[in-house]
Structure 1
Amino acid sequence: MRSDVLELLREAGGCISGEKIAERLGVTRAAVWKKIAALREAGYDIASAPRSGYVLRSAPDRLIEAEIAKDLGTVLVGKKIICYDAVDSTNLVLKQLAHEGAEDGTVVVADRQGTGRGRMERPFFSPPGKGIWVSILLRPTFLPQDAPKCTLMAAVAVARAMEHFGLRAAIKWPNDILHEGRKLVGILTEMSAEMDRVNYVVIGIGINVNIARKDFPEDLRDTATSLMQMKGEPLPRVAFLQELLRALDALYREVQSDGFAPVLAAWRTYAVTLGQTVRVIG
């Protein structure tokens, strides 16, 4: 019901009485008051006045379902969004949900990860309130050999979200996005498949959004950076995540209908390692 109260506050565009909210939702005024208190606890600035009611002044830049889903407008990616304050790993959580039958496009977001990791089991620094730590579940129709290309698809989606905020991405093969040689974004794609069928793909994306240089561990300060450092000012995490999900939704639907060729062409426009020698460690 908390999201229902929030929607009524937004819909009102000004004051709305507790009595009217209770009437619209078919609950008691005491129940409304509890939900208002919960919204305030979550960071919403809700003013109240006797005989006038409640008014929503501002919403927090917190990665919570009600904010991410608001005006998202996607078709597949983000149909279901599950948010956590903290998890060990969003990929681990979503893989378990996938085994339990979670639907195509399910998104898991955490404000903090305890054991986030990248390729080759490298740890990924995931502090609270500073980044976007998200995993997306796909149940595609393409063959297992095409699944690794989902990493490239995710990188293009991040690049397009960055462009929305006036930032140019530089993609380093196969799964990092850099700025001036320092890491902004890491992507980890995992798959469950049979010989000729993909059961699911989980794409984990870690984005350093509003992390100051001093906030990184000392051993990462020269190799990692953030969108805030790149932009010169903090970015709204909710809005950035929405742009990412919109971009990924469009790309995924394009892949399902037309294959990966358009995604690969887009990826090449951002790639900084084309024509360079790369070392593969297996």
Structure 2
Amino acid sequence: MALRGDAVRTKILELLQKNTDRYTSGEDVSQLFSISRAAVSKHVSVLRGQGHEIEAVTRKGYRLVRKAEKMTQDVVRQGLTTTVFGQHDIHYLPSVGSTNLEAMKLALGDAPEGTVVVADEQTGGRGRQGRTWHSPSGCGLYVSVVLRPDIAPNEAPLITLLTNVAAAEAVQDLTDIIPVCKWPNDVLIDGCKVAGNLTEVFLSGDSVGHVISGAGINVAPLPEKLVPELRTVPCSLEEAAGKHISRVELLQAFLTRYEHWYLLVTKQGFAPLLSRWKELTDVVGKELTVQVRGETFSGTVVDVSTDGMLVLQDENGIEHSLFSGDIL
């Protein structure tokens, strides 16, 4: 059965992406996907309209010069292998106050689980405790997802660790660098912050109604004027990897990793996720000082509990379970 529409365009793009060092003839594409030469030309025109730079040379064929960077629904879905995340609406916004706030509005309007909001720029990006997340245009991946998990309210904080793992694994997928997860919500490369996340839980009575989980990943270097304002020294994937990083491919990797862990949690609970998070962190065994709402705790990290709390043992042997806080 011949492919149609988006499916055939996805296959053509995959073919051209495999053969970037040479031209692929229109005749080869026509025969491979059982479509006419005229249809090949039309599909290539649509791909160009989506932002893909495709070169065409008479009697040679087509060659992909550069994939599209605009994170529109059509572009992101080309090559996306998820079944839920990104397979409902992907809301792409060139500029937005906050992707989390946009996702929240959609969730209140009954947007299905897996709905995605992604932006080139956030003018009011937020981090934990109301802090600003600097989100200049073209410098990062700023994305939020709508979740409707069947979990108890006390388990909801573990979504922060899930987002942390998904971001870290997506970073590794694109750079081959193994990052470190810093409790509760940061991703570090060589001690520099490359990603963070903000999870917001909305209750319906005594149960979880929906969750909005947003992540920001630094792709390109931030403007120098922003760096002195930040609590933790930032870095970007392109600086760390020494190469161009596609935000579209990073978003696809993030959604793929997110779906893997989210669906695993629905089947097996949070234990496998927590185990994976511990593999990616170096916090256990460290001497730390943590500030929680003006109160300071110092001691050795002995564990991260099954509900995501940092367990800190002080010099008197007393254990303190910390839900959230700032590592000083």
Category of TM-score, reference length = shorter chain: 0.7 to 0.9
- Asked which structure has the greater RCO (Cα within 8 Å, sep 6+), the reply is 1
Q: 1:211-230 counterparts in 2 under 5 A?
A: 211=221, 214=224, 216-220=226-230, 223-230=233-240
User: 1:206: which partner in 2?
Assistant: 216
Which of the two has greater helix per residue? 1
Looking at structure 2, the residues matched to 182 and 23 of structure 1 have their Cα atoms a distance apart, in angstroms, of 49
Task: Look up the SS of the partner of 2:291 in the other structure.
Answer: coil
Unmatched runs of 5 consecutive residues or more in structure 1: none
Please state how far the C-alpha of 1:278 moved relative to its aligned partner. 2.2
Task: Look up the SS of the partner of 1:63 in the other structure.
Answer: coil
TM-score, with normalisation over the residues of structure 1?
A: 0.82
Looking at structure 1, the residues matched to 142 and 79 of structure 2 have their Cα atoms a distance apart, in angstroms, of 21
Looking at structure 2, the residues matched to 230 and 213 of structure 1 have their Cα atoms a distance apart, in angstroms, of 16
User: 1:15: which partner in 2?
Assistant: 26
Larger-Rg structure: 2
User: 1:64: which partner in 2?
Assistant: 72
Q: 1:6-155 counterparts in 2 under 5 A?
A: 6-7=9-10, 10=13, 14-15=25-26, 36=45, 40=48, 42-47=50-55, 55=62, 57-58=64-65, 59-80=67-88, 81-155=90-164
Residue-by-residue CA offset, 1:51-99 (whole Å, 9 max, x unaligned)? x8x9563422332222221121112222222211111111011100001
Looking at structure 2, the residues matched to 229 and 49 of structure 1 have their Cα atoms a distance apart, in angstroms, of 35
Contact 1:133 1:206 in 2 (8 A): yes
Residue-by-residue CA offset, 1:117-175 (whole Å, 9 max, x unaligned)? 10011111111222100001111111111111100011111122222231112122111
Contact 2:69 2:247 in 1 (8 A): yes
The one-letter code of the counterpart of 2:184 is: P
> What count of residue pairs does the alignment treat as equivalent?
272
Distance 1:218 1:140, change over 3 A: same
Distance 1:127 1:15, change over 3 A: farther
Q: 1:152-167 counterparts in 2 under 5 A?
A: 152-164=161-173, 165-167=175-177
Residue-by-residue CA offset, 1:232-279 (whole Å, 9 max, x unaligned)? 222222222211111110100011111111111111112233233422
Task: Look up the SS of the partner of 1:278 in the other structure.
Answer: strand
- Give the fraction of aligned pairs with identical amino acids, expressed as a percent: 34
Which of the two has greater strand per residue? 2
Looking at structure 2, the residues matched to 215 and 73 of structure 1 have their Cα atoms a distance apart, in angstroms, of 38
Unmatched runs of 5 consecutive residues or more in structure 2: 17-23, 28-35, 295-328
